[in-house]
């Protein structure tokens, strides 16, 4: 390095550096900060290859660095589908799969138990295993309103599915009074028995040559039982009850379609008309009930609506959804009992042994252990309610992956019920999987047909067991049931899984 002065008096530094064959001479004019390179042509040609090598090394380093950062990011990103378009996400694939459940089956088969996809423009994660359920679910009590948005058309924007987080506990306390309180359960039970006796009177007139449509019998029983349990004895004529029963099936079966495709104006108008009719009808039931003031500790669900503790939309939800779920649970149970005559005989034997000629009571239900096994296996095998969903405000780790805050997480209950590591030969209908000994071998949350412990679990689990048990005891005590012809009924998965065709029965008197 040499310090000199330029002609115009500026200080100048000259660096001469020798690198084996390379000879570079660079001059800096330091006074005005301007860099001046002095390099003769020959030297440039000597230097160029070194610049190229250097540049390649630097670029390789940068690329490698970026790809490592991306790989680390990817390692933490939930594996899954890229979206097919910004607006539709993976909806075309979901539609092609035929149902949300079938789509989730494909997704998890490809990407494992924690997988991501795009529900329209919304990034979602789905989980289908006990371990992931356990990691995610505790304390998560909010439902993703945008996923459930079609239910707004069907049940109303203030129904239980859209409960604001701040109201979850207060509303749940009301549901608990209606569904878990001992007095309420006793009253529900009496209702079920009364409606089941009515059903029996009708069935007694059926001859062995008649073909009985299972869905008709079950949905009529389910609607009357839910209606009277929630609203007390109403003066609604049979034609209105039949309207509610049919609307429950028609409207609930549309939910899946609306989850997969934007609702057409025509369809929305149809649903609006049906909803208005239901609101009018239940509005009349509410007015009638207002004349009857119950004791404070003897309120029915409808009385909580009258007192403004829960909205009318909740009554509509519980009525339509409750009827739809229980009637399909019963249809599937009857179907499996017809296909597995050994199970039907064993269940009948249990009823005879435990109840003899006695009347059934609420207290009999836990004693009917095999009945509970049959109902559990029916829900598992049919994937009756195939999924539910939750959303957490903040980010979380799930199966070692990072899930951003506000991501809807689908809990694929139906797929968990088919996990061969928990349920060997999952296609087989085998109520013994749920014997006390076998259940003890299952980890908690391996089988969750009613959802997860906490304030968003199905409030009607005990109600449904009692509801379904009363119907099956009444039928099996009086008849041997068989299908008119051996039908192989496929499931039609939706918000609730229903039989894809009518199940035709013959009733043989005992």
Integer Cα distance of 190 and 236 in angstroms? 19
> Residue 351 or 385: which CB sits closer to ligand HEM?
385
| Residue indicated by tokens 């009930």 | 289
Establish whether 458 is an annotated binding residue: yes
> Residue 77 or 442: which CB sits closer to ligand HEM?
442
> Residue 321 or 481: which CB sits closer to ligand HEM?
321
> Residue 336 or 506: which CB sits closer to ligand HEM?
336
Cβ proximity of 495 and 255 under 8 Å? yes
Among positions 188, 348, 456, 493, the unique one binding ligand HEM when judged by CB under 6 A: 456
Centroid of chain to Cα 161:
12
Nearest approach, Cβ of 406 to ligand HEM (angstroms)?
18
Answer yes or no whether residue 446 interacts with ligand HEM by CB under 6 A. Answer: no
Among positions 144, 156, 399, 449, the unique one binding ligand HEM when judged by CB under 6 A: 449
Nearest approach, Cβ of 74 to ligand HEM (angstroms)?
31
Answer yes or no whether residue 161 interacts with ligand HEM by CB under 6 A. Answer: yes
> Residue 27 or 156: which CB sits closer to ligand HEM?
156
Nearest approach, Cβ of 498 to ligand HEM (angstroms)?
12
Integer Cα distance of 496 and 503 in angstroms? 17
Phi/psi of residue 16, nearest 5 degrees? -120, 120
> Residue 118 or 318: which CB sits closer to ligand HEM?
318
Closest C-alpha to 191, from 245, 241, 227: 227
Task: Let me know if 394 is exposed, middle or buried by CB neighbors in 10 A (0-12, 13-18, 19+).
Answer: exposed
Answer yes or no whether residue 452 interacts with ligand HEM by CB under 6 A. Answer: yes
- By CB under 6 A, the residues from 353 to 372 that bind ligand HEM are none
- 48's CB contacts (< 8 A; 6+ apart) are none
> Residue 113 or 459: which CB sits closer to ligand HEM?
459
Nearest approach, Cβ of 390 to ligand HEM (angstroms)?
7
Integer Cα distance of 378 and 330 in angstroms? 9
Cβ-closest residue to ligand HEM?
A: 451
> Residue 462 or 483: which CB sits closer to ligand HEM?
462
Answer yes or no whether residue 464 interacts with ligand HEM by CB under 6 A. Answer: yes
Query: How many other CB atoms sit within 10 Å of the CB of residue 332?
Result: 27
- Three-state DSSP at 462 gives helix
Among positions 91, 94, 124, 160, the unique one binding ligand HEM when judged by CB under 6 A: 160
Binding flags for ligand HEM, 303-342, as an x/- string (CB under 6 A):
--------------xx--xx--xx--x-------------
- By CB under 6 A, the residues from 183 to 212 that bind ligand HEM are none
Answer yes or no whether residue 457 interacts with ligand HEM by CB under 6 A. Answer: yes
| Residue indicated by tokens 């490592």 | 68
- 277's CB contacts (< 8 A; 6+ apart) are 243, 247
Answer yes or no whether residue 300 interacts with ligand HEM by CB under 6 A. Answer: no
Nearest approach, Cβ of 451 to ligand HEM (angstroms)?
2
Phi/psi of residue 132, nearest 5 degrees? -70, -40
The DSSP secondary structure of 360-376, one letter per residue, reads P-GGGGGG-HHHHHHHH
Integer Cα distance of 165 and 109 in angstroms? 34
Answer yes or no whether residue 463 interacts with ligand HEM by CB under 6 A. Answer: yes
> Residue 108 or 143: which CB sits closer to ligand HEM?
143
Residues touching ligand HEM, count (CB under 6 A): 27
Closest C-alpha to 252, from 76, 497, 426: 497
Cβ proximity of 30 and 12 under 8 Å? yes
Q: What is the DSSP pairing of strand 491-492 with strand 479-483?
A: unpaired
Tell me which residues touch ligand HEM (CB under 6 A).
143, 160-161, 226, 317-318, 321-322, 325-326, 329, 379, 384-385, 388, 413, 449-452, 456-460, 463-464
Q: Binding site for heme: what residues are annotated? A: 458
């Amino acid at each position: 390095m040499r310090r000199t002065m330029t002609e115009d008096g500026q200080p100048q530094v000259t660096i001469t550096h020798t690198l084996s064959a390379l000879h570079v001479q660079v001059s800096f004019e330091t006074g005005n900060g301007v860099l001046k390179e002095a390099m003769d042509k020959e030297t440039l040609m000597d230097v160029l290859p070194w610049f190229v090598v250097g540049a390649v090394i630097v670029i390789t380093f940068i690329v490698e660095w970026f790809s490592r950062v991306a790989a680390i990011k990817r390692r933490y990103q939930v594996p899954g589908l890229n979206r097919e378009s910004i607006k539709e996400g993976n909806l075309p694939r979901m539609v092609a799969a035929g149902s949300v459940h079938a789509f989730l089956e494909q997704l998890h088969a490809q990407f494992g138990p924690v997988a991501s996809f795009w529900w329209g423009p919304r990034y979602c994660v789905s989980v289908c295993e006990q371990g992931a359920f356990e990691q995610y679910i505790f304390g998560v009590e909010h439902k993703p309103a945008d996923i459930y948005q079609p239910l707004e058309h069907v049940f109303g924007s203030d129904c239980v599915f859209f409960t604001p987080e701040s109201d979850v506990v207060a509303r749940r306390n009301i549901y608990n009074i209606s569904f878990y309180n001992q007095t309420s359960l006793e009253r529900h039970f009496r209702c079920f028995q009364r409606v089941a006796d009515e059903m029996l009177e009708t069935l007694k007139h059926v001859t062995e040559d008649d073909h009985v449509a299972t869905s008709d019998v079950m949905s009529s029983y389910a609607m009357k039982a839910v209606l009277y349990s929630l609203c007390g004895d109403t003066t609604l004529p049979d034609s209105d009850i039949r309207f509610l029963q049919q609307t429950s099936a028609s409207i609930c079966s549309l939910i899946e379609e609306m989850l997969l495709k934007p609702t057409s104006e025509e369809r929305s108008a149809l649903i609006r008309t049906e909803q208005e009719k239901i609101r009018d009808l239940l509005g009349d039931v509410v007015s009638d009930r207002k004349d009857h003031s119950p004791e404070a500790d003897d309120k029915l669900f409808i009385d909580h609506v009258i007192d403004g503790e829960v909205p009318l939309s909740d009554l509509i939800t519980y009525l339509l959804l409750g009827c739809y779920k229980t009637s399909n649970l019963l249809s599937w149970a009857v179907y499996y009992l017809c296909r597995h005559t050994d199970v039907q005989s064993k269940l009948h034997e249990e009823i005879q042994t435990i109840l003899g000629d006695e009347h059934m009571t609420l207290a009999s239900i836990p004693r009917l252990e095999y009945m509970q096994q049959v109902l559990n296996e029916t829900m598992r095998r049919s994937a009756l309610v195939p999924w539910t969903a939750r959303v957490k405000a903040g980010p979380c780790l799930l199966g070692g992956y990072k899930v951003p805050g506000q991501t809807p997480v689908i809990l694929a209950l139906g797929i968990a019920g088919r996990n061969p590591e928990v349920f060997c030969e999952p296609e087989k209908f085998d109520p013994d999987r749920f014997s006390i000994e076998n259940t003890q071998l299952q980890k908690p949350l391996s089988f969750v047909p009613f959802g997860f412990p906490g304030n968003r679990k199905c409030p009607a689990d005990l109600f449904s067991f009692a509801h379904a048990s009363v119907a099956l005891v009444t039928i099996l005590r009086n008849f041997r049931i068989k299908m008119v012809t051996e039908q192989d009924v496929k499931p039609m998965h939706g918000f609730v899984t229903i039989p894809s065709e009518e199940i035709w029965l013959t009733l043989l008197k005992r």
